[in-house]
Every structure is written in C-alpha cells, then in structure tokens.
Structure 1
Amino acid sequence: MTPAVELRDVSVHFGRTVALRGLDLSVAPGETLALLGPSGSGKSTALKAVAGFLRPTSGRVLLGGRDVTDEPPNRRGLGVVVQSYALFPHMKVVDNVAFGLRARRVPRRAVAERVAEVLALVGMTGFGDRYPRQLSGGQQQRVAIARALAIRPPVLLLDEPLSALDAALREEMVAELLRLRAELPDTAVVYVTHDQGEALALADRIAVMRDARLVEVGATPELYHRPAESFTASFLGASNLLPVEVVDADTVRLGHLRLAASSAGLPAGGAVALGVRPHRVGVRAVPGPMTAGSGQTGSAPTDSGPTDSGLAARLLAVQWRGTGYRLDLELDLGHRLRAEVPDVDGLTVGTRVEVSIPDGCPLVRVA
C-alpha cells in the first residue's frame, strides 16, 4: 500500500541550528500517527515540512507516492489545524468553513451542502451565523477542524490542537477526535503533541522525538509496554529507570532480586536499565527506628524487615494527587524511584519501607 505521507531522510536547518535531522517516517492511509516529544524535539518542524510551510534542507516529502517537496501548501490538498485555531475573525463560521472550497471554485450549492455536512460532523450545526469571538475555545477548535475537513483531504495535520484548551475541554475534544476518526476511516492523521495522554488515546502508532531526531516509533500499545529506549520509557509513562545486571536474555539482577524482564528486540551489548512504571511499584512499611527527615537510618528493625522479594528503601516525600499518592523513594542500593499508590496507611516521610518490583518490566537501552 502506498503511504499517505512519507518523509525520506528529511532534515531542516536554520543556519547552524538543526531543527530536524534525517527523519524517515511514513503514515498509511487511515492511520493516525502521533509525533510525541518535548518542546524543541522537531515534531512541529516535521509537520510543517509535510504541510509545505518549510522546505527541507535535504530529503524528500511524498504524499500518496507523489513527490511534493517543491510544491507550495495550497497544491498539497492537506487539511491543517493549528493550536491557535487561525480562524478569520471578520468571517462568520460558515464562511470560515467554506474558505477552502471557494478557493477551489466549488459550485455555490455544493459549498453550502458540504459546509452543512462538516458542521454536523463536528457538532456545530446551528452556529453558522456566529463569529469566532462569539464561540468558546472548544467551539472554535471544532470550527477549525470542520474547515480542514471541508475539502475532503486525504491527510489531516493537527499541530497541538488542544494545547490552548482547559483540562475539561481537552477531554471533551479527545472524545470528539476519536469519534471523527471513526467517521473518516480513510483519512490519514498526523497529530503533533507533547501530551502523552492524547497520543495514547488517539494514535495507532507513536513516533517519539528528541533533539531534532526520531528516537523510536511503534504501535501504541507496544511502545508503551515494551519500549526499547530509555527516553521513550521515561517520557511515555514516566518509568523509573533502574540500572540492572543482565543475567540472561530474560532475567536481570537488581540488588539481591532476580527478575524476569521483557527485552524483545533489544540488541546485545551496551548499558541497559529496567523501566518500571510508578503504578507498578509496591510499597509497604517496615517497622524499625528511624529519625524522620534526617536521611539516616537507625538500628535495623528486629521484628521484621525487607523480604527476599523486596528491596529496602526510605520514603523521601509524599504528594496527594487526588486519585492516590505519589511517593518519592530512595533504595538502599542508592537509586531513586517514584511510586503511585492508592493510600499511605502507615507511611510517613522518613519511614523505612520495602519496595517490590514486578516481573515483566521492559529492559531498555540507556543512551
């Protein structure tokens, strides 16, 4: 199948600044690909290269197998939605949505029918005579999406479209985008975001980017549960990265613990770490004297202590997060890690604790 979007060794330089370096990536028709990464990682630059807003310094951009590297944006036939909405403030909603159709000299009756169709698709029927200033942020974003979809683009580019919305509206718009994706099964979507929740909810595949480079790309569940790179594990799911000794292909040693690890696709050699999600870390109090907050342990507890299945640690900080608690811990091995637990019965700052690490955590390459 010919990719809807293909980037071949695309680099973008601004003088001596490298904004994108050697990106190879493709998106299939009907697929949603999220470009995920921190600010300055190159994800928006990649999207602008696809849209035609930036010309690559080197490499080629193809749409449906056609090389469009040297073509302007208006000849690429793409739908684009940006975080600022970019609606024309002096135009009513119907005119904003109809803009691309009229630029293509679509007959007036067909324009009216298509505008009504896409406004219904995004739940904005009845708002056609309003101006953007009369709409909420979420409504303006729906109009921007309707305008992008009006021309029936084979590819929809979304550049952090929800970042200007509050948390409640973002949740609503994620649900709306999921519904739209089901309504448009043949439209390829490239979704740029720094929000891992949006990427996990919407994308079939995720491309993780950092420092103008592609770090790793894969199917969303696979990348979340079995990342190969330490940056992916820490950025996508906030994994704790614990240095371990590799015993064999499926087993590692952490202190006195031997743990089964998932290492599919990880080449032999090089430094590795175990990626442990905070919600998978078990924590229980261990009786014994200790000076809270001093950072120094007292005498070892005599009635109980860490078991063969756990690691000794000290609780450094507790944060209530509404749905549970975030714990910052320091293992006696010297490593810091974070846990997320539903309650903190018997746990206070300075408490001696036992930490349990589950089998099956991914083994990741340390850059």
Structure 2
Amino acid sequence: MTPAVEFRDVSVHFGRTTALAGLDLAVARGETLALLGPSGSGKSTALKALAGFVRPSSGRVFLAGQDVTDLPPHKRGLGVVVQSYALFPHMRVAANVAFGLNARRAPRAEVASRVAEVLDLVGMGAYARRYPRELSGGQQQRVALARALAIRPDVLLLDEPLSALDAALREDMIAELLRLRAELPDTTLVYVTHDQGEALALADRIAVMRDSRLVETGPCEQLYRRPADGFTASFLGAANLIPVEVIHDGTPSTVRLGGRELTAEPTGALTPGQAVALGVRPHRVGVGAPGADTLPALVRAVQWRGSGYRLDLELEATGGTIRAEVANVDGLAVGAPVGVSIPDGCPLVGVGS
C-alpha cells in the first residue's frame, strides 16, 4: 500500500550546518508516528520539510505517492499545528478556524457548517465569538487543532503542540488527542516531541532521532522493551547501560557482570566474549542490604521525587554509576553501602566488540 508520507534520502543544510541527514522514513495511512529526540536532533526540520516550510537540499518528499518536494505549503493539503499555535490575534475563534477554508474559496454555508463541526469536535463550540487573548493556553491549542482539521487533511502535523502547557493540562490534552485519533481513524498524524511520555501515549510507532539523523524506528512497545541502539535505550525510558560480557549467544543469552551470570534478551547477533551493554530501567534495579546474591555498590545521591526516591549508585563491578527508583530508602544516606540486584531478561544493546 502506498504510504501516506514518505521521505526518500532527505537532507537539509543551512550553509555548513546539517539540520537533517539522509532521512528515509515512511508513514502509513491512519498511523500516528512520533518523531522523538532532543533539541537539535532534526525532528522539527523533518516536519518543516514535509510541510513545505523548508526545501530539502537533497532527496524527495512524497504524500500519498505524489512527489510534493517542489510544491508550496498551501498546495500540500496538510493540517499543521505549531508550538506557538500561531492564531491570528485580531480574529475571533470562528474566523481563525475558517481561515483555511476561506483561502480555498469554500462556499460560505459550507464554511459556517464546518467551523461549527470542528469546534464541537475539540470541545470549543461555545467559544466561537471569543478572541485568542480571551482563551487559556489549552483552549488556544484546541482552536489551533480545529483550524488544522477544518480543511479535512489526510495528514496532520503537530510540532511540539503541548510543550507550552503545564503538566496537568498536558495530560488533559493527551487524552483529547487520543479521543480525536479514535474519531479520525483515517487521518495520518506525524507528531514531533522531545517528551517520551507523549510519544509512548500517542504514537503507534516512534522514530528516534539524534544529531540530525534517524537512529531507530519501530512500534512503541518494541522500542521501549527491546531497543537495538544505546541512545534509544537511554533516551526512551532512561535505561541504565551497564557494561557486560557475552558468555553464551542465544535467546535468551547469558552475560557476566561482576562475577555473576545473568540471562538477557539479545537485539542482534552476538559472539562469546563480546562487550555489550545491558539496558536496565531504573525501576527494575533492586536495592537492599549487601549480600552474597547482590552486587556491591555505594549510594552517591538520593533524591525524593514525591512518589518515591531516585538513587544514584556506584557499582563496584564496573566503577560506573547507575540509577534506581525505589519506594523508600529506609534511612539510606550518601556513601552508604548497598546490594544491587539486576533482573534477568533485560535487553542487550551492542556497543562494539
């Protein structure tokens, strides 16, 4: 089936600066793809190349099989919601939402009907006569969504639309976007974010980006549970990357850590003696009294996080620091010796041989 969106070896350069390098990526119709990465990773540049706001230095961009690389933004038929919402301050809500329809010279009766329909869809039907300055941040975000949806786009682009909202409102808007997804099953969403929680909550698939390049892509659960790349493991879920040595290749594999043997899930071909990293999420690190069945460590930092504690622990076996999340610390202080337990079944991430 022809992808709704496709990047073919797309690069973007600004002078000597590479903002996007050789992106090959396809998004299916009705799929929600999250472009996830830190600032400067190239995710927003990819979205702008798709929207037509920047022109690729090389490569091609396709929508539903049509090469749109040379088309201006207004001819691509995309809905776009940017971080600042970009509402027209001198226009009332209804006029903002109608802007794209009026630009397409839609009949007046159709414009009025469609504006009412999409405002109701996002829960803003009672605010049609207000100006943007009379709305909260979350309400402005809903209006921006309504404006993007008014033209019935096959593809909706969202560039960090929740980053300006407070934590509680962000959770409400994630729920709102999930509801919209369910009501618009044929609409393809490309969602740019640096927030892993948003990506995991909203996306069918995540494309992880770093230093202007695509690192890894796959279904959310796969990338979270079995990332193939070390950056994915650490950025998506803040996994500890603990150096281990492969003893036996297989499914599961056996690795050695500080004189102890653990079973682990491989994410690629391994050879005995190979140096790899064991990806262990902080909440899976066990912390207790030192003992024969644990790995010795020292507490280097203790942070109370409200729902529990975050510990930075220096592992004697590696000399490196790992992070643990525990419900209580039972009086543990910085410098205290502890015993660390690492569970079987964590994924392996190759770091060289």
1:120-150 CA distances to partner (integer Å, 9 max, x unpaired)?
Answer: 1101011000000000000000000000000
d(CA) in 2 for partners of 1:121, 1:262: 44
Letter in 1 for 2:295: L
- How far 1:266 sits from its partner (Å)? 4.7
Large movers: runs of 4+ above 4 Å: 266-271
2:255 is matched with: 252
Letter in 2 for 1:328: D
Letter in 2 for 1:26: A
Spell out the pairing of 1:319-338 with structure 2 (5 A cutoff).
Answer: 319-333=303-317, 334-338=319-323
d(CA) in 2 for partners of 1:366, 1:24: 24
2:335 is matched with which residue: 341, 344, 350?
350
1:235-258 CA distances to partner (integer Å, 9 max, x unpaired)?
Answer: 000011111001122111111111
2:267 is matched with: 264
2:12 is matched with: 12
- How far 1:285 sits from its partner (Å)? 2.5
Does the Cα contact within 8 Å between 1:285 and 1:351 map onto a contact in 2?
no
- How far 1:345 sits from its partner (Å)? 1.2
Larger gyration radius, structure 1 or structure 2: 1
Q: TM-score, normalised by structure 2?
A: 0.96
d(CA) in 1 for partners of 2:112, 2:248: 66
- How far 1:264 sits from its partner (Å)? 3.1
Unmatched runs of 5 consecutive residues or more in structure 1 = 287-305
1:257-307 CA distances to partner (integer Å, 9 max, x unpaired)?
Answer: 111111133566975200110000000033xxxxxxxxxxxxxxxxxxx22
Give the direction of change, closer, same or farther, for the CA distance of 1:267–1:5 in structure 2 (3 Å limit): farther
Task: Answer yes or no: is 1:164 the counterpart of 2:164.
Answer: yes
Q: Matched residue of 2:332: which SS?
A: coil
Task: Answer yes or no: is 1:284 the counterpart of 2:268.
Answer: no
1:312 is matched with: 296
Letter in 1 for 2:296: A
Q: Matched residue of 1:244: which SS?
A: strand
d(CA) in 1 for partners of 2:132, 2:90: 8
- How far 1:49 sits from its partner (Å)? 0.4
d(CA) in 1 for partners of 2:86, 2:140: 9
Give the direction of change, closer, same or farther, for the CA distance of 1:37–1:28 in structure 2 (3 Å limit): same
1:311-363 CA distances to partner (integer Å, 9 max, x unpaired)?
Answer: 00111111000000000100112121000001111422221100000011110
d(CA) in 2 for partners of 1:148, 1:268: 51
1:273 is matched with: 277
Task: Answer yes or no: is 1:207 the counterpart of 2:207.
Answer: yes
Spell out the pairing of 1:1-367 with structure 2 (5 A cutoff).
Answer: 1-249=1-249, 250-266=253-269, 271-286=275-290, 306-308=291-293, 310-333=294-317, 334-366=319-351
Does the Cα contact within 8 Å between 2:248 and 2:271 map onto a contact in 1?
no
1:139-190 CA distances to partner (integer Å, 9 max, x unpaired)?
Answer: 0000000000000000000000001111111111111001111111000000
Letter in 2 for 1:342: A
Structure 1 vs Structure 2 CA RMSD? 1.2
d(CA) in 1 for partners of 2:33, 2:170: 19
Letter in 2 for 1:356: S
Give the direction of change, closer, same or farther, for the CA distance of 1:222–1:266 in structure 2 (3 Å limit): farther
Q: Matched residue of 2:152: which SS?
A: coil
Does the Cα contact within 8 Å between 1:266 and 1:364 map onto a contact in 2?
no
Q: Matched residue of 2:7: which SS?
A: strand
Letter in 2 for 1:275: G
Letter in 2 for 1:361: C
d(CA) in 2 for partners of 1:282, 1:154: 47
